[in-house]
Amino acid sequence: MPKSILSSRLVDVVDSCLREANSVGSIKHNGMVGKIREIFLTDLILPLLPDGFYAGTGKIIDRVGELSAETDIIIYNKSRFSPLLFDEKTGIFPIDCVYYAIEVKSTVTLKEVRDAIKKGESIRSLNGPPIHHVLFGFRTNLKKEKEKALLRIQESQKEYEFPPVNIYCVVDAGYCYYEKEWKVFVSTDRRAEVIGLLIGIVNTLVKTGIRSPDFNPGNYLAWWE
Phi, psi of 217 (to 5 degrees): -55, -25
Looking at residue 127, its pLDDT comes to 94
For helices 192-207 and 2-25, give the axis angle rounded to 10 degrees: 120
Q: Are 33 and 13 in contact (CB under 8 A)?
A: no
Is pLDDT at 27 greater than 80 in this prediction? no
Looking at residue 15, its pLDDT comes to 84
Q: Is residue 87 part of a domain?
A: yes
Q: Is residue 222 part of a domain?
A: no
Q: Is residue 223 part of a domain?
A: no
Q: Is residue 134 part of a domain?
A: yes
Q: Is residue 221 part of a domain?
A: no
The boundaries of the domain holding residue 191 are 2-210
The Cα–Cα gap between 52 and 82 comes to 11
Q: Is residue 135 part of a domain?
A: yes
Looking at residue 225, its pLDDT comes to 55
Q: For the full predicted model, state whether its pTM sits above 0.75.
A: yes
Q: Is residue 109 part of a domain?
A: yes
Q: Is residue 99 part of a domain?
A: yes
When divided into structural domains, the chain yields a total of: 1
